[in-house]
């Protein structure tokens, strides 16, 4: 039997007591789905549905800086499991479209939005940031957290799909004073200059490295400690030890100036 045949049988499987096998499995794993616990990296696992430093707080702060309202149609580029998109639709009332390269994230994000009762305002589709599957000027806000590749094609696409007077709101990693050798990262000022050259006015540009140490890595480390038994039961004690090491090593690297994070809100002129 081939794998697709097996998958088809599992899909059709009805339990003797009634109901479909896949529905039963989904109910069983729903708490883990809602927390986004389906990636191997410790950072992704502990981040949950918001895979960036600062979690929901970062999303709320960026949305306030970008003055997002219920009138906005936001494009979330690199939406992953849709956690930020769902928060924006829920707390700010906007309509949101998320895109990501990977089908499995899009399927999960769509299902999570459905479970949250937000399918009418949050939709997700496969797409590449370098060739966005949207027409010019379609969104009032282009949004991206912790995903920007330091490649001008990304910024050109963000600019193309933004409506006149629309905003760009993003967080991203940046080069700092003591970078890793051959790091291709831009520094915050490089991004500001590139956006001005494209025709944006930059309303807010901030180095958030210190905040991301305190409310990012340290918060992840605390969350891991608080739920240590739970994580160890599922992923093992070695995984927990490795995860603590990873978070603390990134704190050291940020403090040494190897890399950092920044955020920008800009308006398309």
Residues that bind ligand SAM (CB under 6 A): 50-52, 78-80, 83-84, 99-102, 105, 128-130, 145-147
Alpha-carbon separation of residue 11 from 18, 38, 104, 269 (angstroms): 14, 20, 17, 51
By beta-carbon proximity to ligand SAM, the closer residue of 95 and 232 is 95
Which residues make beta-bridge pairs with 95? 73
State in angstroms the smallest separation of the CB of 53 from ligand SAM.
Answer: 9
Q: Are 259 and 253 in contact (CB under 8 A)?
A: yes
State in angstroms the smallest separation of the CB of 17 from ligand SAM.
Answer: 38
State in angstroms the smallest separation of the CB of 244 from ligand SAM.
Answer: 20
By beta-carbon proximity to ligand SAM, the closer residue of 146 and 174 is 146
Alpha-carbon separation of residue 40 from 27, 103, 146, 241 (angstroms): 22, 17, 18, 14
State in angstroms the smallest separation of the CB of 128 from ligand SAM.
Answer: 4
State in angstroms the smallest separation of the CB of 261 from ligand SAM.
Answer: 12
By beta-carbon proximity to ligand SAM, the closer residue of 79 and 195 is 79
Number of neighbours of residue 80 by Cβ within 10 angstroms: 27
DSSP string covering 139-175, please? EEEEEEES---S-HHHHHHHHHHEEEEEEEEEEEEE-
Q: What is the DSSP letter of 128?
A: B
State in angstroms the smallest separation of the CB of 231 from ligand SAM.
Answer: 19
By beta-carbon proximity to ligand SAM, the closer residue of 45 and 50 is 50
Instruction: Tell me the HSE value of 69 on the side-chain side, using a 13 A CA sphere.
Output: 3
By beta-carbon proximity to ligand SAM, the closer residue of 21 and 138 is 138
- Tokens matching residue 176: 């700092």
Sign of the dihedral through C-alpha 64, 67, 71, 77: negative
State in angstroms the smallest separation of the CB of 6 from ligand SAM.
Answer: 27
By beta-carbon proximity to ligand SAM, the closer residue of 156 and 233 is 156
By beta-carbon proximity to ligand SAM, the closer residue of 43 and 119 is 43
- Tokens matching residue 138: 């379609």
Q: What is the DSSP letter of 125?
A: E
DSSP string covering 91-127, please? HH--EEEEEES-HHHHHHHHHHHHHTT-TTTEEEEE-
């Amino acid at each position: 039997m081939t794998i697709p045949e097996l998958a088809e049988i599992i899909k059709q499987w009805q339990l003797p007591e009634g109901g479909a096998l896949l529905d039963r499995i989904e109910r069983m794993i729903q708490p883990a789905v809602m927390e986004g616990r389906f990636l191997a990296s410790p950072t992704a696992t502990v981040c949950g549905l918001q895979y960036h430093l600062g979690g929901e707080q970062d999303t709320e702060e960026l949305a306030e800086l970008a003055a997002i309202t219920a009138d906005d149609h936001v494009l979330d580029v690199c939406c992953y499991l849709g956690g930020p998109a769902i928060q924006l639709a829920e707390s700010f009332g906007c309509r949101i479209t998320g895109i990501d390269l990977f089908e499995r994230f899009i399927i999960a994000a769509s299902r999570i939005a459905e479970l949250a009762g937000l399918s009418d305002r949050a939709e997700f589709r496969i797409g590449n940031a370098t060739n966005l599957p949207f027409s010019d000027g379609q969104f009032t806000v282009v949004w991206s957290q912790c995903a920007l590749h330091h490649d001008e094609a990304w910024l050109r696409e963000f600019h193309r799909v933004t409506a006149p007077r629309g905003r760009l709101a993003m967080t991203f990693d940046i080069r700092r004073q003591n970078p890793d050798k051959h790091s291709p990262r831009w520094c915050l000022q490089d991004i500001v200059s590139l956006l001005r050259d494209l025709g944006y006015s930059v309303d807010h540009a901030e180095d958030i490295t210190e905040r991301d140490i305190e409310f990012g890595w340290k918060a992840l480390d605390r969350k891991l400690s608080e739920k240590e038994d739970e994580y160890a039961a599922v992923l093992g004690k070695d995984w927990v030890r490795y995860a603590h090491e990873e978070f603390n090593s990134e704190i050291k690297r940020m403090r040494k100036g190897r890399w950092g994070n920044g955020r920008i809100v800009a308006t398309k002129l």
